[in-house]
Homo-oligomer: A and B are copies of this chain.
């Protein structure tokens, strides 16, 4: 095999964006051979830009059974991700799954089990993991030279969405259709990076507000407080209503501080480990020296195309993935913990109580209101966060 024959399942904002790039040869290792979409008008709309050589199907099963694909990208509403991935594995297809891995970890655990037994390549579309700044932060925090982490503070409020966005699909921002708000739609990237760079917290207390800034039934404003096993604490703040939003990730460690903001990673490095200084200094107000530098970061931020490319090269040449599919459960578990904590009004410990989470989610699904929608596609340019 020299080219991976790829099918895309779900031609909404993300699926159609991937398709347009792939037919233009943006990933030489990949040939787009088929797409599927359940909505008839959307499927028809694909005809305006897809070449005749790309087959179009009204359902995922037909696409998988066509024999035209070696692999699929799953870009449907979130609840369907695990079911479709499991179906693909059963048909011998490699899977690249859009985030989030699913809506609840019970469902995702089953998907992971099926993937492990399959011998197939399974990747998650955590496109922000290609950002060289976050890769560098991962390396610096986990490399040891900065000592143990003491605090993390991520203000990630630059996920602005207008009411028109929420009105653009009947599934959007509903418990039954999407299973959550900013935590499940926009933030899986950030929550994945948070756990990838800082590890999983032990405890979470979150404060979510549903429909605070938009006419939606799910959350659009979240503050979460976290405690880690080593004693570090953290804060994660997000919303889809702040303008202009902020994306500022600060991590304090024993040897100094990393700040990632405005496309710049700054290291404030101490001349001495703070823990040693604290107990060694004879003076009450003095401090060790600090050297401030902008950390050079190498490589392009290849985003979705980089993830698709590495996925294709994993299948074709056995190269490593940007993010393994099984890793999707970590960020989902953390996001589920934020939901559960807020619903129960108390601190929850991780791993999240899957039954308690699903019970609470199901209450909300049962009460979820069918909404009128104006089903349009938007250009996703500039919407992927930073």
Contact = CB atoms under 8 A, between A and B. Distances in A.
Task: Determine how many copies of this chain the complex contains.
Answer: 2
A287 B243 contact: yes
A242 B235 contact: no
B285 A383 contact: yes
Contacts of A277: 162, 243
Nearest to A213: B278
A57 interface: no
Interface stretch (A114-122, A152-160, A299-307): A152-160
A285 B252 contact: no
A150 interface: yes
B242 A151 contact: yes
Given A162-B277, A163-B278, A378-B285, A242 B252 contact: yes
Nearest to A254: B243
A79 interface: no
Contacts of A257: 242-244, 246
Interface string A151-182: 10101010011111110100000000000000
Contact of A223 (B235, B243, B382): B235
A233 interface: yes
A290 interface: yes
A264 interface: no
A272 to B, nearest CB: 9
A28 interface: no
8 contacts: A151-B239, A161-B284, A162-B278, A205-B205, A207-B225, A207-B227, A241-B274, A248-B248
